[in-house]
Amino acid sequence: MITADLVQREAAAQKRRRRRASAVGRVVMHLVLLALSVMALTPVLWMISSSLKASTEIFVVPIRWIPTTPRWENYAVAFQRAPIWLYFYNTMIVCVGAVVGAVLSSALVAFSFSRIRWPGRDFFFGLLLATLMLPAIILIVPRFLMFSKAFLWPYPWIGTFLPLIVPTFFAIHGLYVFLLRQFFLGIPVELEDAARIDGASTFRILWQIFIPLSQPVIITVVVLTFMQLYNEFLEALIYLKPETWTLAVGIRAMNDAAYATSWELVFATGVFMLAPMVILFFAAQRYFVEGATLSGFGGR
């Protein structure tokens, strides 16, 4: 005969088994994430360690993680060997200009796709998303030919920052438009209707209502754009000349014959290049995660 007490004991036992299984699952998940984190951080830690070593210690087997005598002067020598601050200044010009262009243009296009009804809107949005499947490398030659022609300006753009900055003002990154559009769709339409009743124009609704409410996804676009242009190598190598080189190209130039044996200097400049991105990511981490999450589930 099954009693109420027996049923309660069985339910309690099942609950304990579920708790144990859940605890084991969490432990396994954390161990896997820990292993993946160690794998991802190992090259970075080796780079930081090597930036403080003598050249004879870098490629010793087994790896010597802690330098025998930390050589902090490697950083000073690296800055003397190459105009690192000039490269950093050039990189900031490109990144800031591209961030402004990407945010402004992507917000305008996303607002059009999400709030303005016009013929063929959904078709062109699908076409925009289809461009995400195109490898960026196939656009290198057409863009170079276009930017090298004088009809774009009184002089060719090759050797200037313009080929890296100007295209971002035309919403060339479909991913950013998609993220902003999804977030805009999640904003209540009642806010827009109320603003129109008060006489607000379309641009005023965008800049005074949608942009302030979209801070998380805008910061996401800022971080993604900054990271992309900060690490851009191929296009910067093609379009820029030595005095306008960015950090990515300048550090690569340190691998030339003159510095072939000075790997500690290359690693020192690599650590310097990595530091701003780490600071930016941790400063915007909360907004970055929130923007990516909310954009994925936006809609009405």
Sequence spans of domains, the chain: 1-50, 73-296
CATH code, residues 73-296: 1.10.3720.10
pLDDT attached to residue 7? 61
What is the residue-wise DSSP string for the chain? ---HHHHHHHHHHHHHHHHHHHHHHHHHHHHHHHHHHHHHHHHHHHHHHHTTS-TTTTT-SS---S-SS--THHHHHHHHHS-HHHHHHHHHHHHHHHHHHHHHHHHHHHHHHHH---TTHHHHHHHHHHGGGS-GGGGHHHHHHHHTSGGGSSS--TTSSHHHHGGGGGT--HHHHHHHHHHHHTS-HHHHHHHHHTT--HHHHIIIIIHHHTHHHHHHHHHHHHHHHHH--HHHHHH--GGG--HHHHHHHTTSGGGTT-HHHHHHHHHHHHHHHHHHHHHSHHHHHHHHHHHHT---
pLDDT attached to residue 300? 41
pLDDT attached to residue 298? 43
pLDDT attached to residue 297? 42
Under-50 pLDDT residues of the chain: 257, 296-300
